[in-house]
């Protein structure tokens, strides 16, 4: 990709109405564009990162048996009225409108009801279970406040997986698999060390649910953290009863701000009974399907990575998530020999299969190009100029040192780095 042709440009200043680091940096670096409060467009650089995160999540969901689907966003009230969740006093973030016929519809905030309705067509016997379905789908929530960039938006992609099991034992077994899959996702996303399994309110079926909270000063949640045991407790359920059940004391925990990057819930029969989702067991008895729900927002996850991976100059992407792996900078492009050499190196990288963003702008100073490279945050910066001669200058985004090397040595190093 040549920078001169890229949709999206760096900006010296962040929009005045953005206060969060993720929104300010992603906007300045040309990853996102704010369309309105709580609604952001992903530009090419941002969409590449988002796609890589979705790929990681998809791999882990398929690995535990998930089958990918895609459900509709438009929802009819009759289905949700069966579970009591059409009422705005129950779900207060509905976006609702009317068709030309006058029929009221809503934009889905979640998908337990519609997927359960679909499953009544495919589940009738114990032999049909368990089943696990997931999707990456737009959700709409009429948030009262949207001031944290991609951390809290009114329109967003959600990975939601739903499990359909015969009984609580089968649910517990899958729940444990999902829990470990989430840990793998956050490890691969570069936030594994700062993300903790967190006890939270469980709702009607279970005493507790589990959140995955990433420690960060920008977080909206307060959690109590035990780093040794790698667990946390959400403030909403931090009490003597929970501490006793864990066999721990208040002194074992410290208070932190954190960002919720995922959650898993045991739903039980909360939705299957009102939606008539039953199966016949091995003795022919009618039983309600036991359900679970497992959510991750890739956009929120992307924002969390930015909040925890940046410095005063810009974003520092984990190598496997960066929009490109090499940021190639050409300087002194008014010199014909240098211009030809950097074009040759760009072509060499491309034919070698390296993922390159080439800053080919001719009217920009070296200082501005380097500043833009730091802001964008690609792991490897390679510079070609008169000064480097037959060599290339390599700098890692998270390092202050540079190194000169010839093209073959650099190519070999990039192969070893799996670029």
pLDDT per residue as tens digits for the range 105-143: 999 999 999 999 999 999 999 999 999 999 999 999 998
Q: What angle do CA 282, 285, 289 make, to 5 degrees?
A: 85
Bridge partner list, 403: 394
d(CA 121, CA 138): 24
Residue range 196-215: average pLDDT? Answer: 86
Task: Take residue 213 and report the two structure tokens written for it.
Answer: 């909270």
In angstroms, the Cα distances linking 109 to 93, 119, 267 are 8, 19, 17
pTM of the entire structure?
A: 0.95
Residue range 231-248: average pLDDT? Answer: 92
Tell me: pLDDT of 419 over 80: no
Task: Take residue 196 and report the two structure tokens written for it.
Answer: 């903790």
In angstroms, the Cα distances linking 368 to 3, 77, 188, 222, 401 are 13, 54, 32, 39, 18
Question: 299 and 307 in contact (C-beta within 8 Å)?
Answer: no
Question: 289 and 279 in contact (C-beta within 8 Å)?
Answer: yes
Q: Report the length, in residues, of the chain.
A: 419
Question: 290 and 171 in contact (C-beta within 8 Å)?
Answer: yes
DSSP assignments along 217-261, one per residue: TT-SEEEEEETTTTEEEEGGG-SHHHHHHHT--GGG-EEEEEEEE
Q: What angle do CA 330, 332, 338 make, to 5 degrees?
A: 70
Tell me: pLDDT of 149 over 60: yes
d(CA 87, CA 275): 17
- Whole-number average pLDDT of the chain: 95
- State the pLDDT at residue 205: 59
Residue range 243-256: average pLDDT? Answer: 93
Contacts of 191 (CB under 8 A, 6+ apart): 214, 261, 304, 305, 308
Cis bond before residue 50 (omega within 30° of 0): no
Bridge partner list, 330: 384
Residue range 330-348: average pLDDT? Answer: 93
Share of the chain above pLDDT 90, in %: 91
Widest CA span in the chain:
83
pLDDT band at 417 (very low <50, low <70, confident <90, very high): confident
- For residue 273, the tally of other CB atoms under 10 A from its CB is 14
- State the pLDDT at residue 145: 78
pLDDT band at 375 (very low <50, low <70, confident <90, very high): very high
Domains annotated for the chain, with CATH where assigned, are: 12-210+258-311 (3.30.930.10), 326-416 (3.40.50.800)
Query: Taking the chain, what is the end-to-end CA distance rounded to the nearest angstrom?
Result: 15
Task: Take residue 295 and report the two structure tokens written for it.
Answer: 């959510």
d(CA 297, CA 216): 17
Span 288-299, pLDDT tens digits = 999 999 999 999
- State the pLDDT at residue 201: 87
d(CA 141, CA 158): 12
How many CA atoms does the CB half-sphere of 329 hold within 13 Å?
Answer: 26
d(CA 108, CA 86): 11
- For residue 173, the tally of other CB atoms under 10 A from its CB is 12
Residue range 350-370: average pLDDT? Answer: 94
- State the pLDDT at residue 275: 98
DSSP assignments along 92-135, one per residue: TT-EEEE-TTS-EEEE-S--HHHHHHHHTTT--BGGG--EEEEE
φ, ψ for residue 122, nearest 5 deg: -120, -5
d(CA 322, CA 286): 51
Tell me: pLDDT of 416 over 90: no
Span 29-86, pLDDT tens digits = 999 999 999 999 999 999 999 999 999 999 999 999 999 999 999 999 999 999 999 9
Span 302-315, pLDDT tens digits = 999 999 999 999 99
Task: Take residue 131 and report the two structure tokens written for it.
Answer: 């089943």
φ, ψ for residue 294, nearest 5 deg: -145, 110
φ, ψ for residue 35, nearest 5 deg: -90, -35
């Amino acid at each position: 990709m040549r920078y001169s042709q890229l949709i999206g440009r760096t900006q010296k200043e962040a929009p005045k109405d953005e206060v969060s680091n993720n929104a300010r940096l992603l906007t300045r670096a040309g990853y996102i564009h704010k369309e309105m409060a709580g609604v952001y467009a992903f530009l090419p650089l941002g969409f590449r990162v988002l796609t890589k995160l979705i790929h990681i999540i998809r791999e882990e969901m398929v690995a535990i048996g998930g089958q990918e689907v895609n459900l509709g966003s438009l929802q009819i009230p009759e289905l949700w009225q069966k579970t009591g969740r059409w009422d705005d006093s129950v779900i207060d973030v509905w976006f609702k409108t009317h068709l030309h016929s006058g029929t009221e519809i809503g934009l889905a905030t979640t998908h337990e009801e519609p997927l359960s309705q679909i499953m009544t067509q495919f589940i009738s016997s114990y032999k049909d279970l368990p089943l696990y379905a997931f999707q990456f789908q737009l959700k709409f929530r009429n948030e009262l406040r949207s001031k944290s960039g991609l951390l809290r938006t009114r329109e967003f992609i959600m990975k939601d997986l739903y499990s359909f099991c015969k009984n609580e034992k089968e649910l517990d077994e899958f729940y444990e698999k999902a829990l470990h899959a989430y840990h793998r996702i956050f490890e691969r996303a570069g936030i594994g060390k700062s993300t903790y399994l967190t006890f939270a309110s469980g709702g009607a079926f279970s005493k507790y649910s589990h959140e995955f909270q990433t420690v960060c000063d920008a977080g909206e949640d307060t959690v109590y953290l035990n780093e040794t045991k790698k667990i946390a407790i959400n403030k909403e359920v931090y009490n003597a009863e929970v501490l006793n059940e864990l066999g721990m004391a208040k002194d074992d925990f410290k208070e932190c701000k954190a960002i919720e990057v995922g959650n898993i819930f045991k739903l039980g029969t909360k939705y299957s009974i009102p939606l008539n989702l039953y199966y016949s067991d091995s003795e022919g008895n009618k039983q309600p399907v036991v359900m679970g729900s497992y959510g991750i927002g890739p956009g929120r996850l992307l924002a969390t990575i930015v909040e925890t991976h940046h410095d005063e100059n810009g974003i520092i992407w984990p190598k496997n998530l960066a929009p490109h792996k090499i940021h190639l900078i050409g300087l002194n492009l008014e010199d014909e020999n240098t211009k030809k050499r950097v074009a040759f190196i760009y072509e060499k990288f491309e034919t070698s299969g390296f993922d390159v963003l080439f800053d080919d702008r001719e009217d920009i100073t070296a200082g501005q190009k380097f500043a833009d490279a730091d802001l964008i945050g690609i792991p490897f910066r390679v510079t070609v100029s008169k000064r480097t001669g037959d060599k290339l200058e390599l700098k890692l985004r998270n390092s202050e040192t540079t190194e000169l090397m010839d093209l073959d040595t650099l190519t070999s190093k990039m192969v070893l780095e799996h670029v």
